[in-house]
């Protein structure tokens, strides 16, 4: 195995670790709240792991892996957009109710 292949293997393993962390974070939050919850960190770990794994898939030139990660990245990004938009609207509503 060449030095470059070892570096890319490390990148792939790091991406998989990031991707796996989302389940650990989700499990931790669900146990703490005694119900199933999906915290915002779940989507950030999904996005970071997905981007890293997409880079690895491109390096490996694996079209199945590339398509799978690209579609996932769209979903993770869209969920983060909805979360932050809802927070911004909530902040705006709170500001309006306090000032007027």
The pLDDT tens digits of the residues spanning 53-99 come to 999 999 999 999 999 999 999 999 999 999 999 999 988 888 888 87
Tokens linked to 11 = 């990148």
Residue 47: per-residue pLDDT? 97
The whole-model pTM stands at 0.85
Listed as own residue / partner, the contacts of 70-76 with beta carbons closer than 8 Å and 24 or more positions apart are: 72/46, 73/47, 76/43, 76/46, 76/47, 76/50
The pLDDT tens digits of the residues spanning 26-38 come to 999 999 999 999 9
The rounded distance, in Å, linking the Cα atoms of 57 and 67 is 9
């Amino acid at each position: 195995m060449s030095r470059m292949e070892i570096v890319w293997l490390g990148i792939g393993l790091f991406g998989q670790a990031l991707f796996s962390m989302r389940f650990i974070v989700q499990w931790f939050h669900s146990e703490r709240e005694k119900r199933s919850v999906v915290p915002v960190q779940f989507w950030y770990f999904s996005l970071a792991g997905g981007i890293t794994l997409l880079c690895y898939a491109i390096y490996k030139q694996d079209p199945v892996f590339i398509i799978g990660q690209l579609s996932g990245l769209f979903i993770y990004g869209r969920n983060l957009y909805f979360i932050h938009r809802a927070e911004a609207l909530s902040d705006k509503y709170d500001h309006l109710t306090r000032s007027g």
